[in-house]
Structure 1
Amino acid sequence: MNYRIEWKQILKNKEKVQCSSDWISAESAIQLGEELERNGKVTDLYFYDEMGVSWNMKEMRKLLLEIEEEPHDITLYFDGGFQKETYQAGLGAVIFYHQGKKKYRIRANNLFNEMETNNEAEYAALYFALGILEELGVEYKTCEIKGDSQVVLKQLEGEWPCYEEVLNRWLDRIEEKINKMGIRPRYTVISRKDNKEADKLATQALEGKEIYAKTIIL
C-alpha cells in the first residue's frame, strides 16, 4: 500500500502553508517524514493510506514494523480455462508478495466442475486466487489484480454492466470476499502473453495436474 504525507510548512514570516506529498511506499514516506521533521519548520505532520486512515510519525513507525511481518505489496494474476465438452474449468493463479525481508511467489491451480462459460471460469479463477490470499492472512492491503479477461475486470470495476445471473452471483461472491478481507483492489487488463503463467496453470488443471508451489524469489 502507498501513503501520502500532509504537513504544514512554517515560512520565514511565520505563516503556515499546507503541503502534501505524492503517493509513495511506507519506507519512503517515513524517510521523507524524518527529513521534514529534522528541518524544524514543520508542524501537523500526518501519514494517510489509500483508505483514508491517518497516523502520526510514532504510529507510522510501528505500522511499518507490523507491515514487514505481514504479506504486502501483493500482485495477483488469474486465468480460467473452460472445456465445453466436460463443462469443467481449470483455474490458475500466480501471486507475488513481500513478507519480512523476502519476496514470495505462489503458483496454484484447481479443477472446477459444472461451469457454463469461459467468463464464468474467469470469475471462478479470481475467486480461487482470493481464497489463497485469505489463507495467507491478507487483510486491509492494496492488491494489484491482473488478468486478460476484460469482461471480468471491467464488470468488477463497475464500468461494464453484467446481465447474466450466473456471473452476477460470482460478482457478489468476489465483492463479498474483498470487502470481508478489507482489500483495496486495483484492476489491470493485460494481454494473454503477459498472463501466460496463470494460463498454463489453468491448462494443467484441465489436464489433471494439480499444482501448489510457494517459492522465495531472490
Structure 2
Amino acid sequence: MNVTLEMTYKTPKGAQTVFFSDTMRAEQALIIAEDLERTGRLKNITFSDTRGHTWSLKELRKFLTEIETEPHHLTVYFDGGFDQGTKQSGLGCAIYYEQNTKSFRLRKNRLAGDLETNNEAEYAALYLSLQELEELGVHHLPVIFKGDSRVVLNQLSGEWPCMEPELNKWADRIEDKMEQLGITPEYRLISRKKNGEADHLASQALQKIEIASNAERPQAKK
C-alpha cells in the first residue's frame, strides 16, 4: 500500500508549519514518521492512502503488523490469447506479492474453450487472476493490475464504454468479485514486451502446457 504523509512541525519557539511527503510505501512512511516523532516536535501525523482513507500513526502501525503474515504489495500481470482456428483461448497470469517479509511469484494458466474473441480471453485472464487472489486469501487491499489490453483496462477503469454484451458480462463479474474480496484495483497499461511473462503463460495454455506454481523470490518485482 502506498501513502502520503502529512505532518505538523513545531519549533521550540512555537513556530509551526505543515509538510506533505511524496507518495511512498506505507512501511517507509512509518519509519520516517517514527523517526521524526522522536524529535518531539511533531504535533500531528496523518497518512492518506490511494483509496482516500486516512490513518493515524497508531492505526497504520497496527495495520502493517496485521497484514505482515498475509499476502500484500500485490501486482498482477495478465494476458489472454485466442486461436481463431481452434476457437480455444489461453489465459495466463503472474502475481507478485510479499508475505512474512519474503517475496513470492505465483504463475497460473488455463485453457478455455467457451470464449469467442481475444478481448473475451483478456477479460477471462484477469478474472483468473482474481480467482488466484481469492485462493491466496487476499482481501481488502489495493492491487495493481498490469496488462497490454487497452480495451479491457480502459473499460474497467471507466474511460471507455463497454457496449458488447459479452464483454459487459465479464466486466460485471470482475467488479462483483473485486467487491466481494474488498480489492481496490489500480489499472496500468503496459507494452506487450513488458507483459511477456503473462503472454508466454497464455501461449503455453494454448499448447496444452499447464502451469501452476508459487515460489519464493529473492526480490519483489516492481
What range is the shorter-chain TM-score in?
over 0.9
Rounded Cα–Cα distance in structure 1 between residues aligned with 2:120 and 2:213:
25
Rounded Cα–Cα distance in structure 2 between residues aligned with 1:58 and 1:155:
38
Rounded Cα–Cα distance in structure 2 between residues aligned with 1:116 and 1:181:
28
- Structure 2 counterparts to residues 23-172 of structure 1, below 5 A: 23-172=23-172
Tell me whether 1:199 sits opposite 2:199 in the alignment.
yes
Structure 2, unpaired ranges of 5+ = none
**Percent identity at matched positions?**
50
Residue 166 of structure 1, CA deviation: 0.6
RMSD: 1.6
Structure 1, unpaired ranges of 5+ = none
Tell me the SS of whatever aligns to 1:27: helix
Is the contact between residue 6 and residue 47 of structure 1 (CA under 8 Å) also seen in structure 2? yes
Residue type of the partner of 2:72?
Answer: H
Is the contact between residue 147 and residue 189 of structure 1 (CA under 8 Å) also seen in structure 2? yes
- The total of aligned residue pairs comes to 218
* TM-score, structure 2 as length reference: 0.91
Is the contact between residue 11 and residue 17 of structure 1 (CA under 8 Å) also seen in structure 2? no
* TM-score, structure 1 as length reference: 0.93
Tell me the SS of whatever aligns to 1:86: coil
Tell me the SS of whatever aligns to 2:85: coil
Tell me the SS of whatever aligns to 1:194: coil
Residue 12 of structure 1, CA deviation: 5.2
Tell me the SS of whatever aligns to 2:195: helix
Q: Which residue does the alignment assign to 1:2?
A: 2
Rounded Cα–Cα distance in structure 2 between residues aligned with 1:135 and 1:82:
26
Rounded Cα–Cα distance in structure 2 between residues aligned with 1:60 and 1:188:
26
Rounded Cα–Cα distance in structure 1 between residues aligned with 2:98 and 2:86:
38
